[in-house]
Amino acid sequence: MWFESFYKNRKGLIILFVILSILSACSLPFLKFAFNFEQFFPVGDEDLDYFQEFIAEFESDDNFLLIAVEHQPSIFDTSFLQTLEAFTEDCKSVSHVKNVQSLTTFKYPTVTPFGPGALDAVHIDNPLLLKQDSIRLLSDERIVYNLLNKKGDATVVVLKTIEDTQIEECNQIIDEVNALLVKHEIEDYHMLGRAYFQSELSAFQFREIILSTIVSGILISIVMILMFRKWRSILIALGSIGVGLLIFMGTLSVLGRELTLMAALYPILMLIVGTSDVVHIMTKYFDELKKGNDKKESIKITIKQIGMATLLTSLTTAAGFATLLTSRIIPIKDFGINSAIGVVIAYIVVIGFTCPLMTYFKKEDLIAVNKQNNFWSKWLSRSYEFTLHNGGKIAIGSVIFICACLYGMTQVHTNYDLTSNLPRGEKITEDFKFFEQQFAGFRPLELAGYIQEGNGYTDYAVMDAISRTENFVKSQEEINTTISPATIARSLNQALNNNDYDFYTMPDTSVYNKAKGILTLLSANSANMLVSKDQQKIRISSRVKDIGADNVKLLSGRIDKWIGENVDSSVIQFKQTGTGLILDKNSEFVRESLLYGLGLALLIVSLLMGLLFRDWKVLFIALLPNVLPLLFAAGLIGYLGIALEAGVSIVFAIIFGIAVDDTIHFMSKYKLAKTQYNDREKALQVTFQETGKAIIFTTIILFFGFMILLFSANLPSVVIGLLISVTLVSAVIADLILLPVVLRWFDI
């Protein structure tokens, strides 16, 4: 018999898990942390495929690092500009940097009898001319919001990096730049760009995981002390949970799984799931010991009854997380896979480690005299009586609750912004806001122009269409800066007129045609980023303020409408693309994948419950108390005005995966009691007394466990913690109040 073999080899199992824990701890330093925007691109989307072709033709729209340096009252100071010049020059030697630009390297194009030339934009060593330089530069749209802010007290050094920089390269870039900032004694600075994001957010992930693990561990220790009050029981519980967490993190390390921004949820999730399993197993084992059974019989009954129920809850919880595989977003998929692995590991640990370990201690060493039993017995008895005598009121209240949730769902929006996804109180967030307020911001918007057959990109009709389109794009209040081949054409016109800024306009046909050759020469340095190699495709690059995904979509619609009405499609055709547009498309897929995934989860749980109870009516009964928390979560998102985006969408998988546990434990105990007593009300009374307490305790643990996320610096984690904590309370209410009423209605 399997149990005899299990009981005989208890010591070997304990030793095995101790060894696995040690090996897992040794593998933790090899955990991989990663963050980049490509992770959040929706896989399999045609716009993503187009964007990848676009950057292959030109270059990525995020291969830069911007360093904004402040100087009061103005950056037009000889000493400061000399420092800036030296810093700019040193930045050229930074690893993985292709070129560097700043005010000290910017030159105005000019035309001489000997051909195109260039003039310095600032006279660093001539204070008398700096005043004129400042007036000219502060009125130049090529400079303002790009290299200079509107007030003239901050300037930007632009480092163009290699394509597709990875975390090690990003860390190296940031370390070298920081060293140069120290060398040149530059203190008032801000950074923005791919390398900065990857380096800082990866480090932030690590800090969040450490913090969440420590705080969760302290919380669960307090709960275990209050629950068991015997130091051996407390150590068994905490040891089991710790072993599960160690083996889980070690497994991720061995499998080479990269940890993204949502990785801070793993310790909390594992500690909570592990605690739930441990509480149910230990509570049942102690109950059997109290009945007078010996250790062997008690653990046998515990594994047979609660072990099987816990197996089913683990499978359903894992199924809930596995539904995230329907998402097109890689970090969401990875979170689902990793969480499902964690749930299975937690179950294996509680059966293979916790159960054997408990049998090596005497009853009096594990069980404290609990004076709270009478309190819980009375409270649970009153709850049972309430459901018995108020079925109609409970039904009406449930209907009102559902209607309120459905109305809240109608208020859900997807207008998320990048700022809300950055960590609170961190320099990276303050830097991002600084660039949003003082410069062009971060969110890219690209227009790819396809020159039609019979036309060339230097033809006047083509360049005029590009210029008019660029002007319209820049006229939008959400956009501060643009660049295109027409930028070079306007610069040429200015150069031909003694660099008078009033001539920074599209030249007339006669001037343009005479200067075509010069235009080609001036375009040479920018051709790789503005014009494709075959010269049949061009780009108009711009930066959009962080106004939210839905608002950007409206902006894109206005641009497309204007192009359709004002640009001759037989000359040139435009298509929008860019990192920002691809990220914003996630909002279109979140609802789709969310509904599909939850539908799949409901189907899986229904089948499992149907197989367990072999009654079609149970399918509906099992789902009802678990759908309500999902509706509540969706309603809260609507009422609180929270944007439904990729990170928030995982809330539903977590809620469903955990909430269904209590239903299964309740229904499993009810089935056993119904078989034993052959009386529905007696079975419900017993279920309330024996399972109700464990359900309440685990819910308390879950509630405070996820409330820990309120202390996170990562706003999406705060939102997730709040939503899960509150909605899991509704789940336990549904299980202990609504479920008994439904069981009576269906005469189960």
Span 447-464, pLDDT tens digits? 999 999 888 888 889 999
**Within-domain flag for 660:** yes
Res. 151: pLDDT tops 70: yes
Do residues 543 and 685 both lie within one domain?
Answer: no
Q: What is the pLDDT of residues 382-430, one digit of tens each?
A: 888 898 888 889 989 989 999 998 899 888 887 877 787 788 888 999 9
Position 432 in a domain:
no
pLDDT band per the 50, 70, 90 thresholds, residue 9? confident
What Cα–Cα distance (Å) separates residue 460 from each residue in 449, 508, 576?
15, 9, 23
**Residue range 194-199: average pLDDT?**
86
* Region 223-252 average pLDDT: 85
Residue 517 has pLDDT above 80, yes or no: no
Residues linked to residue 126 through DSSP beta bridges, in sequence order: none
Q: How far apart are CA 482 and CA 278, in angstroms?
A: 59
Residue 222, in any domain of the structure: yes
- Count the domains in the chain: 4
**Which residue has better confidence, 231 or 601?**
231
| Tens-digit pLDDT profile for residues 657-695 | 777 777 877 887 888 888 888 888 888 988 888 788 778
The overall longest dimension of the chain from CA atoms, in Å, is 107
Query: Residue 261: what pLDDT?
Result: 63
| Pairwise pLDDT comparison (259 vs 483), residue with the higher score | 483
pLDDT for 64: 87
Beta carbons of 33 and 258 less than 8 angstroms apart:
yes
Q: How far apart (Å, rounded) are the C-alpha atoms in residues 520 and 530?
A: 12
pLDDT for the residue numbered 370: 57
Helix (H) or strand (E) holding 194: helix 194-228
Mean pLDDT along residues 533-539: 84
DSSP result, 346-365: HHHHIIIIIHHHHTTS-HHH
Entry pTM: 0.79
Assess whether 572 and 658 both reside in one domain: no
Most confident of 14-23, 137-146, 413-422: 14-23
Read off the pLDDT of residues 496-507 as tens digits, 9 standing for 90 and up: 888 788 888 888
Same domain, 52 and 168: no
Average pLDDT of span 485-493: 84
Indicate if 364 and 401 belong to the same structural domain: no
Residue 736 lies in a domain: yes
Closest CA to 261 of 209, 212, 322: 209
Q: Which residues of 545-584 are buried (b: 16+ CB within 10 A; e: fewer)?
A: bbbbbbbbbebbeebeebbeeebeeebbebebbbbbbbbb
Residue 204 located in a structural domain: no
Residue 373 reports pLDDT greater than 80:
no
In the predicted model, what is the mean pLDDT of residues 339-368? 87
Neighbours of 218 (CB within 10 A): 11
Same-domain pairing of 474 and 580: yes
Give the domain-ending residue among 519, 554, 584.
Answer: 584
Among 107-111, 292-296, 684-688, the range scoring the smallest mean pLDDT is 107-111
CATH code at position 517: 3.30.70.1430
Strand order in the sheet with 443-451: 479-483, 537-544, 443-451, 572-577
Is 154 within 8 Å of 136 (Cβ atoms)?
no
- pLDDT value at 347 more than 60: yes
**Alpha helix stretches (DSSP H) within 614-713:** 616-639, 646-677, 680-707
Could you list the residue range(s) of the whole structural domain that residue 624 is in? 371-410+585-748
User: Mean pLDDT over residues 231-258, rounded?
Assistant: 86
Residue 91 has pLDDT above 90, yes or no: yes
Kindly report which listed range (44-48, 153-157, 593-597) carries the lowest average pLDDT score.
593-597
Residue of higher predicted confidence among 622 and 16: 16
Helices (H), 390-459: 391-409, 427-438
CATH number of the domain that 709 lies in?
1.20.1640.10
Q: Sorting pLDDT into bands at 50, 70 and 90, what band is 102? A: very high
Instruction: Using the structure block, give the residue that is written with the tokens 């962080």.
Output: 546
Task: Note the pLDDT tens digit of each residue in 48-81.
Answer: 777 777 877 787 767 889 999 999 999 999 999 9
- What is the model's pLDDT at position 94? 94
Spatial distance between the Cα atoms of 663 and 602, rounded to a whole number of angstroms: 13
| Orientation angle between helical segments 680-707 and 373-389, nearest 10 degrees | 110
CB distance 748 to 617 below 8 Å = yes
CA distances from 217 to 122, 251, 272, 644, 720 (A): 58, 20, 10, 30, 19
| Residue 44 confidence class, pLDDT cut points 50, 70, 90 | low
**Domain final residue pick, 166, 199, 232:** 199
Q: According to the per-residue pLDDT averaged within each range, which of 28-42, 176-190, 303-317 is highest? A: 176-190
One domain, residues 664 and 653: yes
Cα(741)–Cα(733) distance, integer angstroms: 12
Residue 47 domain-assigned? yes
More confident residue, 365 or 190: 190
Q: Does 422 map to a domain?
A: no
pLDDT (0 to 100) of residue 631: 86
Q: Domain check: are 606 and 745 in the same one? A: yes
The answer on 383 and 497 residing in a single domain is no
Phi and psi torsions of 642, nearest 5°:
-80, 130
Least confident of 106-115, 165-174, 188-197, 722-731: 106-115
Interatomic CA distance for residues 415 and 410, integer angstroms? 14
How far, in Å, are 23, 26, 243, 254 from residue 19 at the CA level? 6, 11, 10, 15
| For range 543-553, the mean pLDDT | 85
Phi and psi at residue 576, to the nearest 5°: -80, 145
Q: Is residue 528 part of a domain?
A: yes
Over residues 165-175, mean pLDDT: 88
Number of neighbouring beta carbons within 10 Å of residue 169: 17
| DSSP per-residue codes, 577-607 | E-HHHHHHTHHHHHHHHHHHHHHHHHHHHHH
Which residues contact residue 341 at a Cβ distance below 8 angstroms, ignoring those fewer than 6 apart? 248, 251, 252
Q: How confident is the model at residue 111 (pLDDT cuts 50, 70, 90)?
A: low
| Mean pLDDT calculated for residue range 481-506 | 84
CB 402 within 8 A of CB 33: no
Mean pLDDT, all residues of the chain: 83
Q: Rounded mean pLDDT of 164-174?
A: 86
**539 vs 711, higher pLDDT:** 539
What pairing do the DSSP bridges indicate for beta strands 32-33 and 258-259?
Answer: parallel
DSSP element (H, E) containing 574: strand 572-577
377 with 495, same domain?
no
Mean pLDDT for 246-253 is 89
Q: Are 213 and 307 in contact (CB under 8 A)?
A: no
* Boundary residue ending a domain (369, 397, 429): 369
3-state secondary structure 320-341: HHHHHHHCCCHHHHHHHHHHHH
pLDDT band at 526 (very low <50, low <70, confident <90, very high): low
In this predicted structure, the answer to whether residue 291 has a pLDDT above a threshold of 70 is: yes
651 & 736 share domain: yes
Q: Do residues 271 and 377 share a domain?
A: no
Do 604 and 742 lie in one domain? The reply is yes
